Structure 1
Amino acid sequence: MGTMKTPGVYIVEKNAFPNSAVEVATAVPAFIGYTETAVNGNVSLLNKPFRITSMAEYHAYFGGAPIPMFALPDAAEGEEPTLICGEKKVMVKQTSVPFMLYYQMLMFFANGGGPCYIVSVGDYKAEELSADAFKAGVETLLKEQEPTMVLCPEAVGLKDKELCYSVQTAMLSHCGYKMRNRVSILDVFDGYKDRRDPSGDVVNEFREKIGSSFLDFGAAYYPWVNTSIVQDRDLSFLNFDAELLKALLNEELKKQPEEKQPLIQEQIDLIGTELDAVGKDTLNKTLLQISPVYNAALKEIKRMLNLLPPSAAMAGIYTMVDNTRGVWKAPANVSVNSVISPAVNITHDEQEDLNVPLSGKAINAIRTFVGEGIKVWGARTLDGNSLDWRYINVRRTMIMLEESVKNAARAYVFDPNVAGTWINIKSMIQNFLNGIWKRGGLAGATPDDAFSVHVGLGDTMTPEDILEGILRVTVLVAIVRPAEFIEITFQQQMQKS
């Protein structure tokens, strides 16, 4: 207070307690991809990170699902046909751009997702996916402090696998070099293929192409999963090239009884014409009843659209585990919702190279267990050879501690660099860490075993540091690590009675 000049009584209030450190949010993913629209009223949201909390908000600001288009060309020599219609062998092939962010958002919320950011890099009018657009979307996150995860599920839809890897390395660089307060969840390109596929080992190729920088800020999952996101009601004859579908149904028509052919022909001729919503629904139901080939074609495109990379589902699982157990709990041994099966079944022996490879670039498995369902069965970062950063929960817990303490310590910038300030900062950090320890986030029977905070002249600072305006604080923490391998020993003993 100012100098006392007038006689009287003056009240002085002094703070009895240090400032408190507030735990930052740990599960706020940022999704980068293509959306139907990107507007908030009259304001464009293109290439602007925008926070939403539900699928309803996604619909309001970013629109709905794409309308994927498929063709039914004749199967080429040597190719396995999807459909056989009379003498014709037919394959179902997607002809439209593989936009999948909408389906990934459904997977995210189905697995426990909550608040997240959407970075729309374009709409469904785009003629192809762009790696440069994805990278530009990553750059927009530099000004956002809240996101703690970065995902670009559509990167695996790029035509050139090298472009996919360039986007993923850009994500790792963004997380580990530029921001250092978030992690990337990556998908394996062509991760629906078996590792023994004639085209090559997709996991080894991923490991070779992903590089060796900032691996502790990334995690990858294999294989892709067969989901139940796309339902029968989402598909109809509108998803096919009209002329090719009509030609296929006309081929099938030849096998129908002659007396039924005129009526069926009338329905086939309606394909490609202008119909209202009721007319489209009626025609779709009629075709389902009269055409086995049409039924088979719809089932095939549903299967193709439901084959999705698992990164968004994992972001939802991270969120659910953080909210129920804490960020220090490894996001593993958890069921995956809205999934029918992994695209590839992995055995215990096959997972050995995924989990503990010589390169250390661990790929976490998604496996089926009899009587238990489909579970995430791995909790490692891509830096598996590092004893410091081998586990996802260790990296993410450390990010949470660092950001929380950093934000709290900002209140003391430009305060006097003296013992009083040092004690306040030390008390603030100790109180925060003690709360984390009580909740099970730090290892140790006592607080002294779990953490220690050091600050002060002769401890962390020299007189020169003080002259230069530097206040150094050293925080030691014992972060809990998952029991990844449980060994139970059995031994026979002598009979005692």
Structure 2
Amino acid sequence: MPQYFSPGVYVESVPPASLPIAGVATSVAGFIGVVADDVTMPDQPGKFQQRTDDNGDPVVDDDGKPVLDPIPYTLATAGEPILITSWEEFKTKFGDFHEGNKILAHAVYGFFFNGGSRCYVLRVAAATDIDNPAEELEKFETVDQITIVAVPGAISDIQHTAIIAHCFRMEDRVAVLDGDQTKDPSDVSGIRPVGRSEEASYAAIYYPWIKVFDPVTKAPDTLPPSGHIAGIYARNDATRGVFKAPANEVIVNALEISSPISKAQQDGLNPEGINVIRSFKGTIKVWGARTMANDDNADFRYVSTRRYFNYLQESIDDGTQFAVFEPNNLALWQRIKRTVGDFLLNEWRDGALFGETPEQAFFVKCDAETNPKEVRELGQVVTLIGVAIVKPAEFVIFRIQQTAGE
């Protein structure tokens, strides 16, 4: 408390009791994939070292000048999540397109090319190291920024189970899974080896694979779409918002799909939570927006609903940390209501919540009813929040009838 010794007007800066809630990032991906130990790394610009012979002696040219060799970048350590913010940065950590990193490199390239800006990459040295990626996924648990998880090319039930379990446990991220492109569209259990469930509401699966140009072979190659899909999530979040379904979106850099899917074939896949990638007159689009939630968890049937709910939960959690250890009284309850209410009001104004008025779109209740004496005695403050999240218009129906003209 400042002291005043002479008469006058004193103007002071007073920090707010609580800061507004800032929405958390929603489009930071986490990739796990193979980069062989012998992958060729690009040279560091402007850095050279003295060449030596087999005996360790310096090598010189005919004029007696030392022969210098460029110094390549050092391959990133296996098993360590590395933040990558551009394709060029990926190359300095994991190498350019190479047979030893092909699936992962194309996935990360597709992520950035489709709108992604930040991702964490964890490499393993061999494909057998991710037959069961549970151990590698544990290393993502300390990276709070990750909101999308993908293991490009993983199609087995063990792999899908591990990825889904990780996202379900963390409750702040979703899995982008690759379906098995070798399976026929009628083989649902082959395409999607793990069934729909509450846990699987944190996952979305995409089928079939896509064809992209491979700089190594100089020809189109069939590769898993999960990296490109994660980039579409990021692009959609930036241009429309996380509440908008990441579907009816063009997959940039895709030349074709591994096998054409008809509307009739999709009729059997969509209800099973398999998001189909289709070609419309040569334009490759994501034509599905569902999670793998079962019927008992239909509230989270759509990818946008699950991701937006994760966003709300994480944003409110981060933005109300001021309440911890505060006196549990009416003043605190009002601060919580005001802080959360202002945040949700902005979300409604952005079009994320359904309702003609804020009262129809959300409510925040924190009072003596939610915090009776027995709750306060336990050191708890309880706030009840309700939100009406907008759902995607998955089926757009026009009913047209003929009328007699006059």
Q: After TM superposition, is the score higher than 0.5? A: yes
Cα deviation for residue 481 of structure 1 reads 0.6
Q: Is the 8 A contact 2:133 2:162 kept in 1?
A: no
Cα deviation for residue 472 of structure 1 reads 0.4
Q: Is the 8 A contact 2:32 2:150 kept in 1?
A: yes
Q: How does 1:69-218 map to 2 (within 5 A)?
A: 99-122=102-125, 126=126, 128-131=127-130, 134-156=133-155, 164-176=156-168, 178-189=169-180, 191-195=181-185, 201=187, 203-210=188-195, 212-218=197-203
Distance 1:390 1:133 in 2: 27
Q: For structure 1, which segment, 40-49 or 30-39, has the greater mean C-alpha deviation from structure 2 after superposition?
A: 40-49
Structure 1 stretches lacking a partner, 5+ long: 69-97, 157-163, 236-298
**Residue 54 (structure 1) aligns with:** 86
1:482 maps to 2:397: no
Identity of aligned residues (%): 34
Cα deviation for residue 204 of structure 1 reads 2.1
For residue 174 of structure 2, what is the amino acid of its counterpart? Answer: V
Distance 1:339 1:119 in 2: 24
Please tell me the root mean square deviation across aligned C-alpha atoms, in Å: 2.6
For residue 34 of structure 1, what is the amino acid of its counterpart? Answer: V
**Residue 343 (structure 2) aligns with:** 432
Q: Is the 8 A contact 1:168 1:210 kept in 2?
A: no
For residue 457 of structure 1, what is the amino acid of its counterpart? Answer: A
Distance 1:143 1:406 in 2: 17
| Structure (1/2) with the larger helix percentage | 1
Q: For structure 1, which segment, 204-213 or 59-68, has the greater mean C-alpha deviation from structure 2 after superposition?
A: 204-213
Structure 1 counterpart SS, 2:139: helix
Cα distance, 1:42–1:61 mapped onto 2, change above 3 Å = closer
- CA deviations on 1:277-320 (whole Å, 9 max, x unpaired) are xxxxxxxxxxxxxxxxxxxxxx7xx44xx101111110010010
Structure 2 stretches lacking a partner, 5+ long: 42-71
Cα deviation for residue 173 of structure 1 reads 0.7
Distance 2:75 2:257 in 1: 41
Q: Is the 8 A contact 1:55 1:109 kept in 2?
A: yes
Structure 2 counterpart SS, 1:130: helix
Cα deviation for residue 394 of structure 1 reads 0.6
Distance 2:322 2:142 in 1: 21
TM-score, normalised on structure 2?
0.84
Structure 1 counterpart SS, 2:299: coil
Alignment match of 1:351 (pick from 266, 270, 280): 266
1:462 maps to 2:355: no
**Greater Cα radius of gyration, structure 1 or 2:** 1
Cα deviation for residue 493 of structure 1 reads 1.9
Q: How does 1:302-451 map to 2 (within 5 A)?
A: 302-303=219-220, 306-356=221-271, 361-370=272-281, 373-383=283-293, 385=295, 386-451=297-362
Cα deviation for residue 355 of structure 1 reads 0.8
Q: Is the 8 A contact 1:169 1:211 kept in 2?
A: no
Cα distance, 1:442–1:62 mapped onto 2, change above 3 Å = same
Cα deviation for residue 14 of structure 1 reads 5.3
Structure 2 counterpart SS, 1:153: coil
Q: For structure 1, which segment, 384-393 or 141-150, has the greater mean C-alpha deviation from structure 2 after superposition?
A: 384-393
For residue 148 of structure 2, what is the amino acid of its counterpart? Answer: M
Q: Is the 8 A contact 2:131 2:158 kept in 1?
A: no
Cα deviation for residue 457 of structure 1 reads 1.1
Structure 2 counterpart SS, 1:387: helix
Cα deviation for residue 214 of structure 1 reads 0.5
